[in-house]
Amino acid sequence: MDRQRGHLEKNPQDAVDNLIWIKVVGIGNAGVGKTCLIKHFCESKFSGGYQPTVGVDYGFKIQNVKGHELRVHLWDLSGSPEYIDVRNELYGQTDAIFLVFDVTNQASFESLDTWMKEVNKYSSGIHEIILVANKVDTKSGKRLISTQDAKKWASSHRINLYEASAASGDGVHKLFDEMLHNVLNKRKQAGLLPKAS
Amino acid sequence: MGDRKTKLTQSQLALEITTKGWTMGPDLRDEIFIQITRQTTENKKEDSLQRGWELMAILLNFFPPTHKFYSYLEGYISRHIDTKYDLENFSLARWCRTHGIRFTDIVDDEHYNHVPIHHFAEHCQRRLERTMQSGAKRGVRKPSLDEIEQAKKSIYCPSMFGSTLDDVMKMQKDHYPERRLPWIQTTLSEWVLKLNGAQTEGIFRVPGDIDEVNALKIHCDQWKPPTECIDPHVPASLLKLWYRELEAPLIPDVFYNDCIVNYTNAEAAVAVVNRLPEINRLVLAYLIRFLQVFAATENARVTKMDVNNLAMVMAPNCLRCESQDPRIIFENTRKEMGFIRTLIQNLDTSFMDSIE
């Protein structure tokens, strides 16, 4: 690098201040595929293994959206009711939530109302929430929740619906891209964005 | 009690008083109890009298009086167990209906027409004894409205959920005097197996339909087995809920650290189990024996719930971390899970064969 010894090109503090950190939280019943969606987004991998998340897991990815480098933390909260205390501690400072259900599991769809209640209780003020209908690939089993039903629920809560399959990868990048896009726009509107480099 | 107009609901008021007493300490607590005893003495207004006793019962869920004041309060409460203090000219039958309790649980005489102060007093007495032993509610999180509602509900609807193991055993004495294990525990466990839970993918991980679980909870509180249930996830979810909601954790707090320290040491882990109070030991051994069935390879292959997964979903139902520090909670979560895994793999539960 072409610089004077002992002098960084940029003030490191400025460089740190200019980083954009985004916190995303995934919720939904146990076994709907939150961990798999995050894994696919971060590492483009799918593992058919069956491992419940203990309390909380974590994914990280640097994603370029409209010339901004976003540092995205993905918090993968356990869906088990046992871990409600852990979850409640972690909702703070969240930029976006993706709420997941499994289209082959009726109960996971019916629990969405309960999840929205939890969101409203512990993380009010988050404006970017999306609904993800996971496991739409045909291999996962018989689809029980139609796109129409899911759309109806989503629009009654004024949020967007995305269909995805962490197994085939369909729709995964689209949902995260659009979600991050919206988060970025909102920050822009609020004037909270450093200049794009 | 409730005599002055206010915009707050009764539960909100109760929460305010509870929080004050809980945070400000012993002197204020005694003062609160003294005020309530005064307000419930010679009070001829049904509603007001009942609210006063209700508030006393709620408060006793959160903190005790000082030792100095204890004997006075105990005397006051036990005196009111006598039915002569019950308020007259009052439809007890209606009162029971509105509070969802069985008339016969309170009195034998169907023409009885008083505010059943003795019912409140009995409840308060049990609460008082317990809180004197356990002390004020622990932790740093202030009492919540949910906890107030739960405390209030327990006055009117004694439930097998959210009680202590001792209370559960007392409750079932009339129904099953011979049993050494809680009926609710064995019944729900057996139904999970009956509905082929040991061959159902994600058993104990996938939650049952929340409405069905709630309905089954009410059903079971009337001592009825879950005969109409077809989905094993429903009794499985309720079973987990029962363990989780026990008033004191299945493995009591005083043993918590031993579990965390010895989570990979089979011998020490088994020793912890043997030191538990008898009822806790039996209930835990039954649970571990039950989980051993699921951990067997031929079942785990189908359920995808191997010993690690089983331990992961069950540990938070057996152990409760007291800390509020997220880092400690995370660190301990894996150790709690390790402890349960060690038990599933090493605890000899054959002695449970003849126990039911």
Domains and CATH numbers, chain B: 10-158 (no CATH), 183-354 (1.10.555.10)
Query: Which DSSP symbol is given to B29?
Result: H
Maximum Cα–Cα distance for chain B, whole Å? 68
Subunit contact A81:B206, Cβ cutoff 8 A: no
Distance from the Cα of A112 to chain B's closest Cα (Å) equals: 11
Residue of A nearest to B206 (CA): A30
Partner residue facing A54 (CB), from B210, B244, B337: B337
Mean pLDDT (chain B) is 87
Subunit contact B244:A105, Cβ cutoff 8 A: no
Residue B336, CB-side half-sphere exposure with 13 Å CA sphere: 26
Across the range B16-30, mean pLDDT stands at: 94
DSSP secondary structure string for all residues of B261-311: HTTT-HHHHHHHHHHS-HHHHHHHHHHHHHHHHHHSHHHHHHH---HHHHH
Q: What confidence category does residue B285 fall into, taking pLDDT thresholds of 50, 70 and 90?
A: very high
Tokens 């799918």 correspond to A46
Subunit contact A106:B209, Cβ cutoff 8 A: yes
Determine the distance from the C-alpha atom of residue A172 to the mean position of all C-alpha atoms in its chain, rounded to a whole number.
10
Across the range B204-230, mean pLDDT stands at: 86
User: Which CA distances in Å does B27 have to B56, B67, B69?
Assistant: 16, 11, 10
Partner residue facing B333 (CB), from A55, A105, A107: A55
Residue of A nearest to B301 (CA): A50
| Domain A17-189: assigned CATH number | 3.40.50.300
Residue A61, CB-side half-sphere exposure with 13 Å CA sphere: 18
Residue bearing the bigger pLDDT, B139 or B254: B254
Partner residue facing B312 (CB), from A31, A52, A86: A52
Q: In chain B, which residues have their Cβ closer than 8 Å to the Cβ of A83? A: 316
User: Which CA distances in Å does B181 have to B165, B281, B288?
Assistant: 9, 10, 14
List helix spans (H) across chain B.
Answer: 10-24, 26-39, 46-59, 67-79, 92-98, 103-106, 117-134, 145-156, 165-171, 183-194, 210-220, 233-245, 256-261, 266-275, 278-295, 297-303, 307-318, 326-346
Nearest-angstrom CA–CA distance, B204 and B182: 20
| Strand order from edge to edge, sheet including A128-134 | A56-65, A68-77, A20-27, A96-102, A128-134, A160-163
pLDDT given for residue A57 in this prediction? 78
Distance from the Cα of B256 to chain A's closest Cα (Å) equals: 17
Q: In chain A, which residues have their Cβ closer than 8 Å to the Cβ of B244? A: 81-82
Nearest-angstrom CA–CA distance, B276 and B255: 8
pLDDT given for residue B114 in this prediction? 55
Q: In chain B, which residues have their Cβ closer than 8 Å to the Cβ of A55? A: 329-330, 333
Nearest partner of B330 among B318, B316, B343, B351, judged by Cα: B316
Beta bridge partners of A161: A131
Where residue A76 falls (left for φ over 0; alpha for ψ -120 to 50; beta otherwise) is: beta
Across the range A57-71, mean pLDDT stands at: 88
Nearest-angstrom CA–CA distance, B177 and B48: 39
Q: Kindly state the tokens that stand for B300.
A: 């785990």
Residue bearing the bigger pLDDT, B204 or A18: B204
Q: What confidence category does residue B107 fall into, taking pLDDT thresholds of 50, 70 and 90?
A: low
pLDDT given for residue A122 in this prediction? 80
Which of A35, A53, A56, A80 to substitute to test the interface with B, most B CBs within 10 Å? A80
Beta bridge partners of A56: A77
* Residue B111 reports pLDDT greater than 70: no
Residue of A nearest to B312 (CA): A54
| Residues across chain B | 356
0.85 surpassed by complex ipTM: no
Q: What is the count of residue pairs from A and B with beta carbons less than 8 Å apart? A: 65
Q: In chain A, which residues have their Cβ closer than 8 Å to the Cβ of B146? A: none
Contact B186, B212 (CB under 8 A): no
Collect all residues with Cβ–Cβ distance below 8 Å to A89 and sequence separation of at least 6: B326, B329
Percent of chain B at pLDDT > 90 equals 53
Contact A71, A82 (CB under 8 A): no
pLDDT given for residue A52 in this prediction? 80
pLDDT given for residue A59 in this prediction? 86
List helix spans (H) across B172-226.
Answer: 183-194, 210-220
pLDDT given for residue A12 in this prediction? 72
Tokens 């610089």 correspond to A3
> Per CB distance under 8 Å, which residues of A are interface residues toward B?
29-31, 50-52, 54-56, 79-83, 85-86, 89-90, 105-107, 110-111, 114
| Phi, psi (degrees; rounded to nearest 5) at B83 | -65, -10
Residue bearing the bigger pLDDT, B114 or A178: A178
Pairing of strands A56-65, A68-77: antiparallel
pLDDT given for residue A149 in this prediction? 94
* Residue B36 reports pLDDT greater than 50: yes
Whether the CB of B241 is below 8 Å from some CB of chain A: the reply is yes
Subunit contact B329:A111, Cβ cutoff 8 A: no
Nearest-angstrom CA–CA distance, B133 and B111: 38
Q: Kindly state the tokens that stand for A168.
A: 């085939």
Q: What confidence category does residue B212 fall into, taking pLDDT thresholds of 50, 70 and 90?
A: confident
Subunit contact B211:A110, Cβ cutoff 8 A: yes
The reported pTM is 0.75
Residue of B nearest to A110 (CA): B209
User: Which CA distances in Å does A49 have to A35, B68, B74?
Assistant: 11, 60, 58
- Break chain A into its structural domains and give their ranges: 17-189
Distance from the Cα of B341 to chain A's closest Cα (Å) equals: 14
Nearest-angstrom CA–CA distance, A152 and A131: 11
Residue bearing the bigger pLDDT, A18 or B110: A18
Nearest partner of B251 among B161, B180, B322, judged by Cα: B322
Whether the CB of B301 is below 8 Å from some CB of chain A: the reply is no
Collect all residues with Cβ–Cβ distance below 8 Å to B78 and sequence separation of at least 6: B121, B125
Nearest-angstrom CA–CA distance, B151 and B44: 25
For A128-177, the pLDDT digits (tens) are: 999 999 999 877 788 999 999 999 999 999 999 999 999 889 999 999 99
| Phi, psi (degrees; rounded to nearest 5) at A192 | -100, 15
Nearest partner of B346 among B280, B285, B267, judged by Cα: B267
Collect all residues with Cβ–Cβ distance below 8 Å to A197 and sequence separation of at least 6: A18, A67, A69
pLDDT given for residue A197 in this prediction? 47
Range B307-335 burial, b when 16+ CB lie within 10 A, else e: bbbbbbbbbbbbbbbeeeeeeebeebbeb
Q: What confidence category does residue B93 fall into, taking pLDDT thresholds of 50, 70 and 90?
A: low
